[in-house]
Structure 1
Amino acid sequence: MRNECKNINCAPLFLARFVKYNSSLPVLLFFCLVLVVIFFRNTIGVIFGDLFANLSLVLLFLFFPFFLLVPLNRQFGLLLSVYFIYLVIQLFFGLSRGSAYAVVGFFNLTGPLFFLISAYLAILDKTKIFNLGVKLFIVFAFINSLGAIIQAQVSIDIFGLIHNDIYANYELMSGGGVQKRAISFITSPQSLSLTLAFATALIFYTWPIGWSVFFRVLSFLLIVFVGALTVSKVYFVFLFIVFFVMSIKKIYSIFIFLLGFLVVGVLASATTYFDRIFLMFDYIENIRSYPAYEHWARGFQHIDSAKSLFFGNGIGFYSRGGQIIQESDSIIGVESFLIQVFSEIGLVGFSLFSLISGYSYYLLRRKNKSLGAMLLAFVVVGFFTPAPYGFVVGMQMCFLLVAGFFANRIDFVGVGEVSR
C-alpha cells in the first residue's frame, strides 16, 4: 500500500486526490456500467440503435487519464507503455492509408486492457474491484444462461431483444439447414460459450463470500447445462485446460466435474446433439480437415514480406466490424485470435502481447493457481477462436491479465473460496 500511495503522489494533484479520497463507489459504479454496456451491447443496439451502442464504447476510455498520468510499477509499466505506443503508431499508419478498420482494431486491442488498468489505478483497494468483477461475470453468465433457454425453447430472438443474422433469424432457422445454437444476449456462440466456461471455473474455484451455497449449485448446473447447448468446442477445451492444470496435484477435482457434466449433459440433450463436439477428435488426427484450417493458412499467406512479418498488415485488418464499416465486398477472417494479432500487428506487436501475457500469468499463478489456469485457458483457446478479439471475451481475458499485474495488491482469500 505504501508503494501504491507513493505512485499516486507522483500523479497530478486532481487525480491523486480523487484516488485517495473517493469512497470507491464512483469507480465501482462506472465499472459496472461499462461491463453492462459490453455484455448487453447487442440488446442496447436493438433498443436504441447501433450508433448509440457503438458510441457507448467510448466509456472504455473515460478513465484513461489514470493510465497516462499515474505512474505504474516499473516492471510492467514500461512494457504496457511500449505496447500502447506501438498500437498508436499502428493506428496512425492505418488512418494515413484511409483504413477505417484501423480504428476498430485499435479499440478492440486497447479498450478492455487499458480500461481495466485505468480502473485499477483509479482505486486504492484493488480487492474491491476484483471482487466486483468476479460477481458481475457470474451474474452475467447466469442471466445469459436464462436468455439462452428462452431462446432455445420460447423465442429465438428473446422477444425481439437480440439480433443475429443467423441464430436469431426465424426464417433461416426454421428451414433446418443450420443447427440451432445458443447465443443469448451475447449473440455469438463462441463468445457465449467462453463466457459460460469462465463463469463455470469461477463458480468451481472462486465463490464470492456471503453468497449462498444454493445459488452456487443452481448457477453451476444452469451454466453447465447451457454451456452444452452452445455446442461450441471452446467451452470444453477451456474447462479441460483449467481442470487439467488444477488436477495435477488434485486429480479428484477433474473427475468430479466430468461426472457432473456427464450427468447434466445426458439429461440436457440427445446424444446426437454432441456430434459436433466429438468431431474435434477427428480434427486432431487430420488438422487439414478442420473447417477453420484454410482461414488460419490465409492469415500466414498474407504475410508476404519482411514488413508484414515484423509489423503486420495493419491493426484491424481482419476485424469484422472494420470491414463492415469500410463496406468490403466480402468479410475475411482467420478464425484465430492469436493468428489475427500476429498477422495484424506483426512479430513486434505479437511479441509485446506475448510478453505481457506471459509475465501476467507468472505473477497471477504465483498468487493463485486457479486464476492462472483460467488465464492460460483463454490464451490457448485463442488459437482456435477469434472470440478474445471481441469486447465481451476480451474484457474477461484482460480482467485476469490485469489482475496478474496487481496480484500483490489483491487479497484473493478475501474475494472468496479460491484454490491456491
Structure 2
Amino acid sequence: MTGAGEWTFKLKEVSAFDLTEQAREFAEGQRAICGASPDPNVRVYPRFTSQQPLYGRVSFADRTAEPAPRTTYRLALDESKGTGQGYDRLYFDRNQDGDLTNDKVLPARANPAPGATLNYTGISQVCFENLAVPLAFGSQGERLLEMMPRLLLWQEGDKGITFVTTQARQGRIRLAGGKYDVLLGHNQVAAGWFDHPWTALHLMPAGSRSRPRWMGSNRLMALHKIDGTFYQFAATPAGDKLTVRPYTEPLGVFEVGAGARTIEGVNIHGSLRTRNTTVGVGEVSRDYRLSLAHSPVQTCELPADDYMPEYLTLEFGKLRMTISNNYHTDGRRMHIVGRQWVYGIHIRPDQPFVLDFSNPPAVMFVSPARDCRIKPGEELRVMAVLTDPVLDIMFRRLQDTSEQCQETLVEGQPYRSLHTDVSLDPKVVIRRANGEIVAEGVMPFG
C-alpha cells in the first residue's frame, strides 16, 4: 500500500549465501569474542574431550538506544575426536542460564552449503548447524532469527567465531525516475530483524554493482540523495516490504572553517550520524544520479539534527586529516556498547554549524585505566589517542599533502612501495625515570 508522498515495494526472500558476489558482507556475520579462557559467568561447562577447548561470547545489541541494551550468550567449542583433530562441537547457552550442558549441541557441518565458507586466505573455516536467536521484531516483541555459526582459524593461531543470518531480501524499485536494485540483510551487525535501523541496505542503480561507499551508506537508516532530494527508507520487520519517502523536514548548513587561522583551501567530505540516521557530506558527483561518491566541499546543506562524525576527511591547506566519533573511553578500548555518545554537531535551519577545531585537543589513555595497578615484572599495555574532548572526536590521521615519502607496502617480500603524503601523526615516547626509552610509536598509539 502506498500513501501520499511515499512508495512501497515488495521484496523477495533469498539466501544470504547466494549473494556473496553482490553483497559479501551479508555472509561475513557478526563477530564474537573467542579465546582460551573460561567465562566466569558460566556456572556449568560440559566435560570436554579436547585439552584446548575454546570459550567465547556474543552480544546482540540495539545500537539505537543509549546506553544500548544487549543480550549476551556464552559459548564453547570442543574437539570430539581429541585435541588437534578439529573443532566440531559448539555449545551455545541459548536459554542463558549459565549452564552449557542443557542446550542442544550444534555439530559441525560435513558439507556446508555453497557460499557458506568465504574465500579467505590463510584462514580455515568450520560451519556449524544453524541456531535460532530471539531478536526484536518491530513492535511485536521478539522472534527467532536463524543464524549459522562459523569458526575462523588463522594460520598465525588467532581464532574467532561469527554468526551469519541465513536469509536476506532482494528487489527492484523505481525512484526519482530511475530503477534501483536493493538488497536487505545483516551486514556484520545483527541488532534486530529487517526493520532495525542498523539492518544493511544496499542501494544500486539497476543492473550495476556500484553502490554508495561513504561510511554508513549501507544501513537502512541512511539518507540517500538522488537528484538533489534526500530519501528515507524503512522496512517491515519481515523484510517483505520496503517503503521510501522524500525527506521533507528543514535543512541546515554544515560548514568547515579555519577558525582564527589564516588558511586557504578548506574542505571536507565523508559522513555524519545521528541516533537514527546517517548522511553523506560533500557534493554528489555529476556522474551519478545517486550519491555514490562525494566531492569535498566547504559547506553543504543537511537535514537539521544533532550529529557526530561517522568518518570525515578534511583538508586545511597542506594539512589533510581524518576524524571519527571516539569509540574509546578513558581506560576502556573499543567501548561501543553501553556508552553515551556525544552528538555535538548541532545543525539548525537558522544557524550554520562551523567545524573549526577551536576546542583544545587532549590525549586520552585508552589503556591503562586511571586507577590501574600492576606488580613489578608485569606487562603494562599503553594505548593513547588524540581527541577533541568537547565533541568527543578522535583524530585518526594527519598528513602533509605538500610532501611525499616512500612507503613499503609488504615487508619481507619482493620490494613494493608507493609514494604517499608525509605523516604528521603525533609521536609518543615512553621513558623511564633515567631517560631510557621503553616504547615509542605514533598516534593512535598502542
Q: TM-score range by the shorter chain?
A: under 0.3
Compare the two structures and name the one with the higher helix fraction. Answer: 1
Structure number with larger C-alpha Rg: 2
TM-score (norm 2): 0.23
TM-score (norm 1): 0.24
Higher relative contact order (CA 8 A, sep 6+): 1
